Amino acid sequence: MARTQAEGGRILILALWLNLLPLLEGCPAKCVCYSEPRPTVACQQQGLFSIPTEIPVRSQRIFLQSNRLTVVRSTSFSSVHNLTVLWLYSNNISYIEAGAFYGLERLEELDISNNSNLRTISPTAFRGLSKLHTLHLHRCGLSELPMGVFRGLLSLQQLYLQDNNLLALHADTFLDLANLTILFLHNNKIKVVTDHMLRGLISLDRLLLHQNRVTFVQQQAFSDLGKLTTLFLFFNNLTVLTGETMDPLVSLQYLRLNGNQWICDCRARTLWDWFKRFKGSSSELECHVPTTLAGKDLKRLKSDDLEGCVESTSQVQTSIFSTKTLSGKILSTDDSLGEGVPRCCLPGHDKSSIISSKAHPDPSSYNSRQITNNPLKDKENMSRNKYREGERMKNDTRSKQSLNDGPLGTLSNNLDLDNLQPELIDNLEPSTAPSRKKKKCSKKPKSDTPCLKGRGSTVRMLSLCFFPVFWFIVTMS
């Protein structure tokens, strides 16, 4: 019995000694230090303006959240090489010196979130953190991420960048993050998801991009996301998303695309086809235009509903499918800006520039303002509505047909027909029109001067003949 009590006393003394060991090394003021479950320095909510300098070298966890820290210097943690967890969230940090975390090769979790004054980060801030698996950078007011900021983070699995002011991301920002499984980018200001923005994320499982300003997702944007199971793109400014863009997402299970202004015409057909093959769960895709389909779920439409195009481009607030002319050039299917617009979806006033390849084997030889070899058809290519008054001009000629009746529609309707000069309209008459006849005096009013002169000469001749005959008759009587 006595022997058992002695052994218990030794164990108790050993436990007390292990807990007092950090104190013997020196615990920073206003901090609590303990060894179990791991050597920890807890200094949260102490109103600290700077990082303590007397941190025990054996520390594996440091909690400095909810203070008033402003700067993380390159020497702040240079002595704690065993550090695995570092919490710095909810401070006033505005600057992190280059190499601030250099030497922390065992660091696994770093939380710098909720530092609203941290607008930028040094490109080398996270260098050397080869074992880091979780990085919190949300709610930091970040407007950009420097190129290469995540370079070398080969073990990173979770990256939180939501609730910032990011407008765009450089190509290959995540190229080294082959083990990343969670990427949160929601509630930023990203406008375009480019082809190379997400390149290298071959293990990504969850991608949250909702509540941004995304208007367009390029066709190869998801090409590396073969393991993605969750994609959130709701509450953005999307109008079109192609099925080809979604094809690489072979593991997708949960998809949310609600809260966008979807165009439900021929541009939505490839996405509609993709949903026929998709086996996962999805939100509704409420159609915005055309008005006849407004509020309906794109996935539940019939094939016939997706025929044709929205004629009024003013209904769709998107620059991707804008049909405005640029420096006098008409947007066509060959223009890079309209790359995603199929021929069937060009606006009505641009359709005259489309030439059927079946009827004409080399349509590239034409442009929207060319004139055909048939002069009658050249004139037929003008707008029927704009020239109705012209049809009622003098002589009421039936040869002035609508210019859009021609098979090629070669004269663009983008011409300002209202301001077209009258003499230019006259010059559009066909060369085969009959030549004008010379003016004949017989068809002109009797007040015509030449006719009057001729009439006077005739009277004088008659008078010269009448008087001799008159006198001859009088004399004989």
| Domain ranges (residues) in the chain | 359-419
Q: Which amino acid is at 468?
A: P
pLDDT at 32: 95
Q: What is the pLDDT of residue 5?
A: 57
Cα separation, 271 vs 276, in Å, equals 9
pLDDT at 425 over 60: no
- Whole-structure pTM value: 0.65
In DSSP terms, 159 is beta-bridged to: 135, 183
Which whole-number Å values give the CA distances from 430 to 4, 76, 372, 426, in the listed order?
Answer: 122, 87, 12, 10
User: Does 350 score more than 80 pLDDT?
Assistant: no
**In the prediction, which pLDDT does 26 show?**
82
Residue 319: both structure tokens together? 């620059």
Question: Which residues are within 8 A (CB) of 236 and not within 5 positions of it... i.e. 6 or more apart?
Answer: 209, 210, 211, 212, 213, 214, 215, 259, 260
- By three-state DSSP, how is residue 10 classified? helix
Q: How confident is the model at residue 476 (pLDDT cuts 50, 70, 90)?
A: low
Phi-psi region at 409: left, alpha or beta (left = phi > 0; alpha = psi -120 to 50): left
Q: What is the pLDDT of residue 468?
A: 59
